[in-house]
Amino acid sequence: MAESGGAGRGNCCCSFIFTSGLTALFLWLSLRTSKPTCSVQNFLVPSLNKTDNSTTTRNNHTIFFDIKLDNGMKDKGVHYDTINLTFFYDQNYSFPIATYTVPGFYQGHNKHTSRKAVVETNGVPWEAAFEAVSNGSTVAFRVGLATRVKFKILVFYTKRHSLIVKADIPVNDFGKKVNKKGIKLKSNSPHPLSHRLRLEFLGVIFIALIIFLL
């Protein structure tokens, strides 16, 4: 098998594998996408603010939120479909206390934006909540975010991917989110994404092989 022609073919084969490997890696890196990061930057519940004991504030059953949406990709845009926000109180996840929709929009490379609003709530047991924070405990609100995003690579859009994340927000007797830092909204299932990326990687290698064989 050690003929001179065979050695030539071997070299050729090596550089072929090397080049297609590099191409596959390059394609994979340039097509790879990551979903935007969402975090609760601010969350206020005036009615639970013990310091402000006016009856108008105590009977103010609104919540104020400020949610940051962050596209960390340096070379790809994100288009958000209508974003559904759903709020819950204290593990009562069968009964939303408030909902809010953010109209869809496009977000450029490496951009972040905030969406904030005051929303009226329904069904929060305010007396019990106020008693709990007055006693020095915190009460937990939850926000769930659901939308679909597609990524813009150069001038092309990818197909849509669903973005479903949530976070629990502990609130204290200042009627304020306890954590100073933003609270990141997380998905229930982080695994399918990396699985999908592996599948895409294999697909790209396969395509690169076919291109080089032609």
- Interface residues with ligand NAG (CB under 6 A) are 44, 46, 49, 51-53, 56, 60, 62, 64, 82, 84, 92, 95, 118, 123, 131-132, 135, 146-148, 174-176
- Minimal distance in Å, beta carbon 188 to ligand NAG? 14
Q: Which is nearer to ligand NAG, 91 or 194 (CB)?
A: 91
Q: Which is nearer to ligand NAG, 23 or 187 (CB)?
A: 187
Instruction: Provide CB contacts within 8 A for 158, sequence distance 6+.
Output: 33, 150, 151, 152
Q: Which is nearer to ligand NAG, 10 or 123 (CB)?
A: 123
- Minimal distance in Å, beta carbon 164 to ligand NAG? 7
The residue type of 62 is: T
- Minimal distance in Å, beta carbon 45 to ligand NAG? 8
Q: Which is nearer to ligand NAG, 85 or 204 (CB)?
A: 85
Which residue pairs from 181-187 have beta carbons closer than 8 angstroms and sit at least 24 positions apart in sequence? 182/39, 182/40, 182/41, 182/68, 183/39, 183/40, 184/37, 184/38, 184/39, 185/38, 185/39, 185/40, 185/67, 185/143, 185/145, 187/163
